[in-house]
Amino acid sequence: MKNFFRILFLVIIIIGFQHQTNAAEKIEYLKTDWSFKGLFGKFDRAALQRGYQVYTEVCASCHSMKYLSYRNLAEKGGPEFSEEQAKAIAASFEVKDGPNADGEMFIRPGKLSDKFVMPYENVKAAQAANGGAYPPDMSVLVKARGGGVDYIYSLLQGYEDPPAGFNLDDGVYYNKYMYGNKIKMANQLSDGLVEYSDRTIASVEQMSKDVTTFLMWAAEPHLEARHQMGFKAIVYLIILTTLVYFSMKRIWSRVETEV
């Protein structure tokens, strides 16, 4: 019995220590107002379109989005480009297709049904071009990282000079929001890097928010539909509960009268 209590005591101490350690290591991410948060949240269409622009001009040279097709850009609930705009975007990319009648592969303009063009032929080519590191696919990156949108948003703005005594290998950079503060991706954003067609000022903060919004949509393309369904379910349950309440009240009022 004494051994049992000793073991229990040790387990409690270990759990408490781990909880304190995790609390101490918790990072406070940058905060911003996300339009898609909450029960009535919706994506900002302009932000999604700007975010796609940032992805295309800055991120797409290294990071793929293999689960997205160009037709998704025109679908309801997303950036909602017009069909003509989406076709023009797709046609601006070259896609390897085939084989043709002669058994050879050929290059053609992209179509709405095509998946987003991959930046590299394969994983090995991607690693060779990035010093051995593989740039992760961005299709569901928001869901794959702890902290979600706040983490991605903060990471893009977290580059700074390392503190004194902090050693970095060649090709590694300091980022205060990265796990371990070491990241192999160099800082990709700078003020005015892209020119938004809607004349929004392309600050680092703005580009970080726009591209993160786009990545959230990529990971949760049916978010708005789920929010609408959830709201309808809540209204239905409120109405049902009200009807049940008044029905039960009427039934029990008869019972009391008979008594």
pLDDT in tens, 97-110: 988 888 899 999 99
If you search the block for the tokens 């809540």, which residue do you land on?
A: 234
Which pLDDT score, from 0 to 100, does residue 251 have? Answer: 76
**Which of the residue ranges 12-16, 52-56, 207-211 would you say has the lowest mean pLDDT?**
12-16
What does the pLDDT read at residue 247?
76
Question: What is the reported pLDDT for 226?
Answer: 72
Omega prior to 135 cis, within 30 of 0: no
Residue 81 has pLDDT above 90, yes or no: yes
Q: Does residue 13 register a pLDDT over 70?
A: no
Does 111 score more than 70 pLDDT?
yes
Q: For the chain, give the mean pLDDT.
A: 86
Residue 2: pLDDT over 90: no
Provide the pLDDT confidence category of residue 3 given band limits of 50, 70 and 90: low
Is residue 131 within 8 Å of residue 171, measured between CB atoms? yes
Per-residue confidence band for 194, with pLDDT thresholds at 50, 70 and 90 = very high
Q: Structure tokens of 233?
A: 């379910």
Q: Which of 218, 202, 211, 201 is nearest to 154 (CA)?
A: 211
Judged by average pLDDT, the poorest of 12-26, 31-45, 123-137, 195-209 is 12-26
For residue 231, what pLDDT band results from cuts at 50, 70 and 90?
Answer: low
Q: How far apart are the first and last CA of the chain?
A: 59
Q: What is the pLDDT of residue 23?
A: 39
The answer to whether 40 and 223 are in contact (CB under 8 A) is no
Q: What pLDDT is attached to residue 4?
A: 47
